[in-house]
């Protein structure tokens, strides 16, 4: 006689948790860091079994001071950072300058872009992605005042203006500033659901409607794995 056997899996085995690493360096801008961090981290309040887990990564961990003067305790160094599902590159004071000449930083960015399922930039963080070579031939955007400079430096890019964000394949680039919530809500809706994105936005008193959002979508966004 065959006897039915029930296997009970622990709750955590059924969870879908996606690790999101925010690249932070001295001079990172508050809004471009905290806005998307809030959205993605708050996903755990909508579904405790399916959410984003956010953390900060810097070249050597320790402390990072933002452009506005906040001192942040970083979670991981480049060496200790776990594998990322999502890489987020906020804008910093030197995103168009010395950060691009930092060989260690750029090597880490290139490595993490390859492994990440999704890569997001805020404001001039797009320059870091462009310098890595990962955006060659892609549709992108950046901070409005720097869009012409991005196009000049990286002529293979198609730089979009008058939009909040551009999604092309696994890359989501955005204008930053007060619009820094948008790419995180966009990803939340695409990966989870429109309802979860809406509830997350409501919880932070943000008006959100992807259908009316000024944005451009190119190649399809990969789904979560």
CA pair distance 175, 28, nearest whole angstrom: 15
- Sign of CA pseudo-dihedral 92, 97, 102, 107: positive
Q: Are the C-beta atoms of 184 and 120 separated by less than 8 Å?
A: yes
Tokens of 203: 């919880």
101 contacts 131 by C-beta, under 8 angstroms = no
Q: What percent of the chain has pLDDT over 70?
A: 94
Is 11's pLDDT higher than 80? Answer: no
Q: Where are the domains of the chain?
A: 17-215
**pLDDT exceeds cutoff 70 at 127:** yes
Gap between the Cα atoms of 89 and 136, Å rounded = 17
Q: Note the pTM of the prediction, 2 decimals.
A: 0.93
pLDDT tops 80 at residue 10 = no
Q: What are phi and psi of 98, to 5 degrees?
A: -65, -25
**CATH code at 17-215:** 3.40.50.880
Copy the structure tokens of residue 17. Answer: 């948790």
Distance in angstroms (rounded) separating the CA atoms of residues 133 and 76 = 25
> Any idea what DSSP says for residue 217?
E
E-strand stretches of the chain: 16-23, 50-58, 63-65, 71-73, 76-77, 86-89, 118-122, 139-140, 158-159, 165-168, 171-174, 215-217
* Closest C-alpha to 188, from 208, 174, 168: 208
CB atoms within 10 A of CB 90: 29
Distance, in Å, from the CA atom of 218 to the CA atom of 157, rounded to the nearest integer, reads 13
**pLDDT one-digit tens code per residue, 72-111:** 999 999 999 999 999 999 999 999 999 999 999 999 999 9
- Percent of the chain scoring above 90 in pLDDT: 92
Q: What is the pLDDT of residue 14?
A: 62
Question: Encoding tokens for residue 103?
Answer: 């060989």
């Amino acid at each position: 006689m065959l006897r039915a056997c029930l296997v009970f899996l622990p709750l955590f085995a059924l969870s879908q948790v996606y690790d999101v690493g925010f690249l932070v360096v001295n001079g990172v801008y508050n809004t471009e860091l905290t806005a998307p961090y809030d959205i993605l981290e708050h996903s755990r309040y909508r579904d405790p079994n399916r959410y984003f887990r956010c953390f900060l990564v810097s070249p050597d961990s320790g402390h990072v001071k933002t452009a506005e003067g906040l001192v942040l305790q970083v979670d991981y160094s480049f060496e200790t950072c776990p594998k990322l599902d999502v890489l987020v590159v906020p804008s910093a004071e030197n995103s168009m300058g010395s950060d691009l000449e930092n060989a260690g930083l750029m090597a880490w960015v290139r490595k993490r872009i390859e492994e990440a399922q999704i890569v997001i930039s805020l404001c001039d963080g797009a320059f870091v992605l462009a310098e890595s070579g990962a955006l060659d031939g892609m549709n992108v955007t950046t901070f409005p005042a720097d869009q012409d400079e991005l196009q000049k430096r990286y002529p293979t890019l198609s730089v979009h203006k008058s939009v909040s964000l551009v999604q092309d394949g696994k890359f989501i680039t955005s204008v930053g500033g007060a619009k820094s919530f948008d790419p995180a809500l966009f990803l939340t809706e695409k990966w989870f659901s429109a309802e979860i994105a809406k509830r997350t936005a409501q919880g932070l008193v943000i008006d959100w409607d992807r259908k009316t959002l000024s944005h451009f979508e190119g190649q399809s966004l990969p789904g979560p794995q």
